[in-house]
Amino acid sequence: MKAYRVSGTAPFGSQRQHFSYDVPAENADVATEKVYSTLGSRHRIMRRKINIESVGEIDPRTSTEPTIMHVFREEIAAKGGPIGPVAEEE
């Protein structure tokens, strides 16, 4: 199992908006199907209206999605914990 970040655009209401989902999946095709399923069930968006722009494997430590953190919790703990965003200097 690997972590993937799927991003693209879809119609939410009267405008097209950018979206990004982090999902655990066996491969990129399964991750894409999971995003189609999620957007279809939660927002009633048809698959042909969803434009997926990129699907890429990510390090699970960089994600803040609860699903990713749960699935990869042992791997994240073994590697020293999550990698947070770099704080900006004042």
Q: Out of 3.40.50.970, 3.30.420.10, 1.20.1260.60, 3.10.20.10, which CATH number does the structure's domain 2-78 have?
A: 3.10.20.10
Q: Measured in whole angstroms, how far is the alpha carbon of residue 39 from the centre of its chain?
A: 12
> What is the residue-wise DSSP string for 14-76?
TEEEEEEEEEEESSHHHHHHHHHHHHHHHH---GGG-EEEEEEEE-GGG---HHHHHHTHHHH
Instruction: List pLDDT tens digits, range 3-45.
Output: 999 999 999 989 999 999 999 999 999 999 999 999 999 999 9
Whether 85 shows a pLDDT value over 90: the answer reads: no
Which tokens is 56 given?
Answer: 């890429």
Return the domain boundaries, the chain. Answer: 2-78
Work out the pLDDT band at 84, boundaries 50, 70, 90.
low
Give me the amino acid identity at 82: P
Order the strands of the 2-12 sheet from edge to edge: 15-25, 2-12, 51-58
pLDDT of residue 79: 87
